């Protein structure tokens, strides 16, 4: 049975500009064929285990020819796969989406189009340039600046000049002299405002503002990187007045988030709200231990009143333990046991099951939890700690100092290290594309280090949720900042403080 193909627009770069439908389709893909213009932030959304095929196209360097890409889509669909053709921007705005459909139509392959936010409109908007404004223009025109080899431009510059509208040239940086020359020769006022917008909607976006007559010279004074677009029109003069993206507290900051995949989005959203570009690369995954016999035995003991306290040290520990408990019994098995949570994230995980922690430490780390819970326990209390197999000893060490406390430390989940299949993390760091790596536990530091084992860690700026996490990063030579409290809110504040410090150092 034949599969199906979805042509999905990934948007111009900012992962927040990818449509809800695009994300949903991507989350169920079995094969993803993607372009070079798809941002790493979007690539980070591709599910683990998905077959990845790179069909990159950038400035004349084609990894796969268009005809080969068309055949790949057909072959994967004929194999019964759910195929996503992931394209930067919108697949039907100079994205050659129509060409890719022709072969599918010939073979009766079902397909859908998921439009994307086009860079022609989004990139100017992120630079404070409205492509239409009734006081300045009454039309907007999207023009490709790319031409086939050995072909002249099929552009009526005279018609474009006469429209007096906003002109947006995509893929035109290499042809900037020809494009501006064509407009000038067609009679456009050399003082008409114009701009080159580089790497728009990302942390590295930059604007070169000039006029049609001076834009080429202005660009020659700086190195313009692709992708970039050219905008011509009176609306370009509004950029200084309407510019907004650069005013956000984390504007221009690119952050690597390393939380487990199932918990990464909350932190990523908080950082994005403050203007950061977030690259979600979960460094670890948590999986239940293969042998759940000891866990089942502990649940049986719990149901008989065998424990006075359950102490949880992570949201994953909560989820995996209670999923197992509910599979065997129900929440009544808790009996009269009281609950301790290491911090607010773990408390939130308990709330999902209708439970609230009876105890949280003043400082959200294992040492403080152990010391303060020890004082809160009655002599002879029995404490169950369901947590990671590689849990640190500080918690247990503090509890063992207590008044005849009986501590059962049980492994409920293993921590596995995970490297990205699609993103070159090492290259991102070495090129200076990552401003900060954010770590929410010592295990995420270890997972990150395992994924990029041969990188120079002194080039990594690490923002850490607590002192144990910071110590793990410092052991590898990373420069560290530590949140005042072990909460996501405090962690984001630490990123802002670190970014401000780095700006002041420049």
Distance CA(468)–CA(363), nearest Å, equals 12
Three-state SS for 53? Answer: strand
295: Cα within 13 Å, side-chain hemisphere = 24
Six-digit token string for 60: 């004349």
| Per-position b or e across 344-371, b if 16+ CB within 10 A of its CB | bbbbebbeebebebeebbebbbbbbbbb
Residue 435 CB coordination number (10 Å): 20
Under a CB-based contact definition with an 8 Å cutoff, are residues 341 and 310 in contact?
A: no
CA-nearest of 127, 152, 129, 154 to 143 is: 154
Six-digit token string for 17: 């500009």
Under a CB-based contact definition with an 8 Å cutoff, are residues 285 and 416 in contact?
A: yes
Distance CA(42)–CA(130), nearest Å, equals 25
331 contact partners, CB below 8 Å, separation of at least 6: 322, 325, 353, 354, 355
Element (H or E) spanning 121, and its range? helix 119-126
Six-digit token string for 90: 């919108």
Residues paired with residue 472 on neighbouring β-strands, in sequence order? none
Q: Where are the alpha helices (DSSP H) in 309-441?
A: 315-328, 344-351, 366-376, 394-399, 425-430
Selected catalytic residue, list 14, 57, 319, 365:
57
CA-nearest of 145, 129, 135, 138 to 94 is: 145
φ, ψ (nearest 5 deg) of residue 340:
-120, 140
Selected catalytic residue, list 14, 35, 90, 435:
35
Distance CA(153)–CA(47), nearest Å, equals 41
189 is annotated as an active-site residue: no
Six-digit token string for 281: 């690369």
Alpha carbon distances (Å) from 91 to 8, 88, 302:
7, 7, 56
424 is annotated as an active-site residue: no
Q: ∠ CA(435), CA(438), CA(440), 5° rounding?
A: 175
| Per-position b or e across 276-299, b if 16+ CB within 10 A of its CB | bbbbbbbbbbbebbeebeebeebb
φ, ψ (nearest 5 deg) of residue 144:
-80, 130
Under a CB-based contact definition with an 8 Å cutoff, are residues 55 and 67 in contact?
A: no
Catalytic residue positions, numbered: 35, 57
């Amino acid at each position: 049975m034949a599969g199906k193909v979805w042509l999905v627009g990934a948007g111009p770069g900012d992962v927040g500009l990818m449509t809800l439908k695009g994300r949903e389709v991507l989350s169920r893909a079995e094969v993803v064929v993607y372009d070079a213009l798809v941002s790493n932030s979007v690539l980070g959304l591709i599910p683990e285990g998905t077959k990845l095929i790179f069909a990159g196209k950038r400035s004349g360097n084609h990894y796969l020819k268009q005809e080969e890409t068309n055949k790949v889509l057909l072959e994967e669909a004929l194999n019964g796969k759910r195929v996503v053709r992931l394209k930067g921007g919108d697949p039907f705005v100079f994205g050659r989406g129509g060409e890719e459909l022709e072969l599918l139509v010939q073979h009766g392959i079902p397909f859908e189009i998921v439009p994307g936010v086009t860079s022609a409109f989004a990139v100017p908007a992120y630079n404070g340039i409205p492509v239409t404004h009734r006081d300045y223009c009454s039309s907007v025109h999207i023009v490709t600046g790319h031409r086939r080899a050995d072909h002249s431009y099929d552009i009526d510059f005279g018609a474009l000049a006469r429209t007096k509208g906003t002109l947006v040239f995509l893929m035109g940086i290499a042809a900037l002299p020809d494009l501006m020359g064509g407009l000038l020769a067609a009679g456009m006022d050399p003082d008409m405002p114009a701009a080159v917008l580089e790497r728009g909607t990302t942390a590295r976006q930059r604007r070169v503002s000039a006029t049609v007559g001076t834009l080429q010279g202005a660009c020659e004074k700086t190195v313009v990187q692709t992708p970039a677009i050219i905008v011509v029109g009176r609306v370009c003069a509004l950029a200084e007045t309407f510019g907004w993206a650069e005013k956000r507290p984390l504007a221009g900051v690119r952050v690597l988030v390393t939380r487990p995949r199932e918990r990464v989005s909350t932190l990523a959203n908080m950082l994005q709200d403050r203007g950061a570009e977030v690259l979600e690369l979960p460094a670890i995954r948590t999986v239940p231990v293969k042998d759940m016999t000891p866990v089942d035995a502990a649940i049986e003991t719990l149901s008989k009143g065998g424990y006075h306290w359950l102490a949880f040290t992570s949201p994953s520990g909560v989820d995996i333990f209670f999923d197992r408990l509910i599979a065997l019994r129900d929440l009544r098995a808790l009996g009269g046991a009281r609950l301790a949570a290491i911090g607010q994230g773990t408390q939130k995980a308990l709330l999902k099951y209708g439970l609230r922690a009876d105890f949280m430490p003043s400082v959200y780390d294992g040492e403080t939890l152990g010391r303060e819970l020890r004082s809160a326990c009655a002599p002879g209390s029995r404490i169950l700690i369901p947590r990671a197999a590689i849990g640190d000893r500080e918690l247990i060490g503090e509890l063992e100092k207590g008044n005849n406390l009986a501590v059962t430390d049980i492994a409920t989940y293993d921590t596995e290290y995970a490297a990205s299949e699609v993103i070159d993390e090492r290259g991102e760091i070495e090129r200076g594309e990552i401003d900060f790596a954010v770590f929410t536990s010592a295990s995420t530091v270890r997972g990150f280090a395992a994924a990029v084992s041969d990188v120079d860690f002194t080039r990594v700026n690490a923002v850490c949720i607590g002192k144990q996490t910071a110590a793990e990063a410092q052991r590898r030579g990373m420069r560290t900042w530590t949140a005042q409290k072990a909460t996501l809110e405090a962690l984001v504040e630490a990123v802002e403080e670190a970014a401000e410090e780095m700006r002041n150092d420049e």
